Structure 1
Amino acid sequence: MARGQTYEPWPENKLLAFEAVCEEHSVEPIIYELAIGTGQRLGDCISMKWDDFDSEYMKVVQEKTSAKIQVYCPTRLQRFLETIPRNGTFILAKNRTQHMGKRQVQKRVEDIRKAIGVLSGQGRLAPHGWRYTAATQLADAGVDMRDIQTVTGHKTLSMVQKYTAQANPKAASRRAQTAREQSRNETGKR
């Protein structure tokens, strides 16, 4: 996708389709789980080292901004990483001391995107959309924008808002009104 174009979060059915095809592969599920679980860019996931993971948090130095962040890994990612053999310094190891190449990983992900019908055309979905997916899922869970920012590492709240633009507004409305009711009930106000 050319610079300046927008990305889309992946719908649940396409995430599940990707996961189903991933079961037959070795590298693809790792990159997918790292990207969805940490909300980081593909290149940042490729650079993740085993020493960066302390069984709860992943230290990340973002390639694009050089920002250093620590992202809490959800339980699903923690459990997944426990199943991965440690064959080198990097989680996505090419050999004992080097990570896999970005283009090599992109090609492997492309093959699965092609298999599930999201490589091109109207229904095109890009791996960068996994970053949008993570941010949107956090927003849908009611996570504050500043907290989402600590996961994604975005410098500005306006970028977080861009990434969460497709969050479910009905769910947000329900959360807001429920919190309002609870607050008023606790204070005895009508």
Structure 2
Amino acid sequence: MASDAASAHDELPARLAEHLDAYAEHLRLERGRSEHTVRAYVADARSLLGHLATDTPDAGLGDLDLRAMRAWLAAQAASGVARSTLARRTAAARTFTAWLARTRRIARDPGIRLASPKSHRALPAVLRQGQAAEAMAAAESGAAQLEPVAVRDRLIVELLYATGIRVGELCGLDLGDVDHDRRVLKVLGKGNRERSVPFGGPAAAALDAWLRSGRPALVTADSGTALLLGKRGRRLDQRQARSVVHEVLEAVPGAPSLAPHGLRHSAATHLLEGGADLRVVQELLGHTSLATTQLYTHVSVARLRAVHDQAHPRA
């Protein structure tokens, strides 16, 4: 989120600030963006308008041109903002100016000509397949005594690794989203896009144990239809899921410290290493762009290169 960029510009002139609420409603209602995304996009728009107001005190929306947008990005780059963050904020600014032009708040869209800084995308850390197996075994061992929270924790890591779903998607699952016969989850992803994701036998066993002995012990009047529950019976939140993943991976010697997204990265990488088609992995992960999924082919190649360099006598 761009709160750091926006903090210096909380007080915008009314002639500029009045458009932000309408922009937020557009993102929320017309584009179907999550509240987190809406906050981030509005913060970037506020930052842009704040720079405009600082640079030109009497400026209105009509003064928002390409020069002003480039100056805004240059100021952030000079303050040490990472290239990847600049690229994301550039995209957010273009979304904002496109909306301004479409709603005739400005005569033409200056964002069309705003170039995005090239980000140097780092390869994500992933588990080796053996480490993933050890993590699942550690979670299963912890659940052996049928303590409800341990049974739930096993299901959390099994589902994250088996399906590659996002932690928000995991926490949003309801009981009715599980097709037990076909071993398929109905997942609501980014942009309210729905997809079906299969899971295997170990995850099915963890799910059965949770529904049989875990969830009934935690369920309360506040549980509703949530599949996964916290200790107090409410829907599991993302922070709890992250803590579970960190704790499980701490039991695996040499494993990197990963968040739930690391299990998603690991699942995608292992699928491709096992021969899965790139477009199938794209569909499973819910990526709108194949280019996003292609990152995992680079992960696989990088790991092959590391093994080759270590093992081959003429590397």
TM-score w.r.t. the length of structure 2 is: 0.46
* 1:1-190 alignment runs, 5 A limit: 6-22=123-139, 23-24=141-142, 25-55=150-180, 56-62=183-189, 64-85=190-211, 86-87=215-216, 89-94=225-230, 98-116=234-252, 123-167=256-300
Could you tell me how far 1:33 is from its partner in structure 2? 0.8
Going from structure 1 to structure 2, the CA distance change for 1:132 and 1:164 (only over 3 Å counts) comes to: farther
SS of 1:155 mapped into structure 2: coil
Going from structure 1 to structure 2, the CA distance change for 1:102 and 1:125 (only over 3 Å counts) comes to: closer
CA deviation profile, 1:143-170 (whole Å, cap 9, x unmatched): 211111111110111111113432369x
Could you tell me how far 1:6 is from its partner in structure 2? 4.4
1:68 partner amino acid: E
Tell me the C-alpha RMSD between the 2 structures.
3.1
Going from structure 1 to structure 2, the CA distance change for 1:32 and 1:6 (only over 3 Å counts) comes to: same
Runs of 4+ in 1 over 4 A off after TM superposition: 2-6
Larger deviation, residues 16-25 vs 135-144: 16-25
Find the aligned partners of 2:192 and 2:254 in 1 and give their Cα distance: 31
Going from structure 1 to structure 2, the CA distance change for 1:116 and 1:149 (only over 3 Å counts) comes to: same
In percent, how many aligned pairs have the same letter? 27
Does the CA contact (< 8 Å) of 2:171 and 2:228 recur in 1? yes
Larger deviation, residues 52-61 vs 130-139: 130-139
Q: Considering Cα pairs closer than 8 Å and 6+ residues apart, tell me whether 1 or 2 has the greater RCO.
A: 1
Does the CA contact (< 8 Å) of 1:60 and 1:70 recur in 2? yes
Could you tell me how far 1:37 is from its partner in structure 2? 1.2
Higher helix proportion: 2
Going from structure 1 to structure 2, the CA distance change for 1:5 and 1:165 (only over 3 Å counts) comes to: closer
Query: Can you give the 5+ residue segments of structure 1 that lack an aligned partner in the other structure?
Result: 172-190
